[in-house]
Amino acid sequence: MKDTKLFVVLPCYNEEEVLGETSKRLLELYGKMISEGTVSPESKIVFVDDGSRDRTWEIISRLAREHEEVKALRFSRNFGHQLAVTAGMDEAKGDAVIIMDADLQDPPEVIADMVKAWEQGADIAYGKRLHRKGETAAKKLTAWCYYRLLNFMSAYPIPLDTGDFRLLDKAVADEFKVLREHNRFLRGMSAWLGYNAVPVEYVREERCAGKTKYTLKKMLRLAADGIFGFSSKPLTLIGWAGLAVLCIALLGLIATIACAAVTGVPGWLWAVCALVLLDGVILCAMGVQGAYTQRIYDEVKGRPLYIIKERQS
């Protein structure tokens, strides 16, 4: 019997439809792994209720009462997926921690492959999506483009087509706990930490029930956290954009004067277009600077990352 303590962290937001099946599959897997001696009986499954308004807390707190290996945390409100994962990781005191979604899109069976990779020396075993089932072509295309844009922007290589589904060795998980930034992008933070990261390929399943809890607003927010949290390139790029607009404006000015002299078309028409273009560039530049300022402001306030209202273990 091994004494490897494995912690699995699952953030849950309004997931009453999926939790029965998810907990059943996870508890079965834990039972099998414990009886085979792959992991210690002290291993835990940590469900974090991210301020759900449905029966999520009722379900996970009952699971925690009925099963020794289940722990449940409840946020005081919806703080977001990345912070729910953070709270679960703060709670995890194992030899390895696994982060996975509660909707079974990350199949629990892949956990065994991640543990194998970890036993063979990986510090981080991250799930690499070979194929994404049941997602729209638009979502797949935007995700494909985003991961590549992110890698172009980021100062640290962030693995392509990879979400937060991963195993972290205790050493990495402990370092993770030290990173207390408010606008979090966990897969980027994992890349920033370095260590020996190994891909574990898997097919991303369809959500087992219910609808996505990632609204467009939340998705855009996460995408922005990835870019602004891991790159200062946007600031450099707006400088170059300003220079490019300046050059175009100069050429336009010459063209306007020449055109007005030859054809008699009033020059101010061109000037209006140039002004509007310039205003657009200035507003974009202010937006980019604002994104960084807002992140600084969030840090300066020094508030806790999340608030736990209740716990059951």
Residues that bind ligand UDP (CB under 6 A): 11-13, 15, 50, 78, 80-81, 84, 101-103, 105, 207, 212-214, 218
Angle at 144 between CA 143 and CA 147, to 5 degrees: 80
Nearer Cβ to ligand UDP, position 64 or 102? 102
Q: Of ligand UDP, Mg ion, none, which one sits near residue 140, judging by CB under 5 to 8 A according to partner kind?
A: none
Least Å distance, CB 103 to Mg ion, is 4
Q: Of Mg ion, ligand UDP, none, which one sits near residue 11, judging by CB under 5 to 8 A according to partner kind?
A: ligand UDP
Nearer Cβ to Mg ion, position 12 or 59? 12
Q: Of ligand UDP, Mg ion, none, which one sits near residue 214, judging by CB under 5 to 8 A according to partner kind?
A: ligand UDP
Q: Of ligand UDP, Mg ion, none, which one sits near residue 195, judging by CB under 5 to 8 A according to partner kind?
A: none
Nearer Cβ to Mg ion, position 105 or 190? 105
Q: Of Mg ion, ligand UDP, none, which one sits near residue 199, judging by CB under 5 to 8 A according to partner kind?
A: none
Least Å distance, CB 230 to Mg ion, is 23
Nearer Cβ to Mg ion, position 93 or 139? 139
How far is Cα 189 from Cα 182, in angstroms, rounded to an integer? 12
Nearer Cβ to Mg ion, position 5 or 207? 207
Helices 137-153 and 216-230 pack at an angle, to 10 degrees, of 20
Least Å distance, CB 27 to ligand UDP, is 17
C-alpha distance from residue 57 to each of 2, 5, 49, 70, 158 (Å): 32, 25, 6, 13, 34
Least Å distance, CB 41 to ligand UDP, is 26
Least Å distance, CB 207 to Mg ion, is 5
Report the interface residues with Mg ion, using CB under 5 A: 101, 103, 105, 207
Residue indicated by tokens 């072509």: 137
Nearer Cβ to ligand UDP, position 277 or 308? 308
Q: Of Mg ion, ligand UDP, none, which one sits near residue 81, judging by CB under 5 to 8 A according to partner kind?
A: ligand UDP
Least Å distance, CB 2 to ligand UDP, is 28
Least Å distance, CB 151 to ligand UDP, is 19
Q: Please, which residues bridge with residue 73 across strands?
A: 48, 311
C-alpha distance from residue 160 to each of 72, 263, 267 (Å): 32, 54, 49
Q: Of ligand UDP, Mg ion, none, which one sits near residue 84, judging by CB under 5 to 8 A according to partner kind?
A: ligand UDP
Nearer Cβ to ligand UDP, position 67 or 218? 218
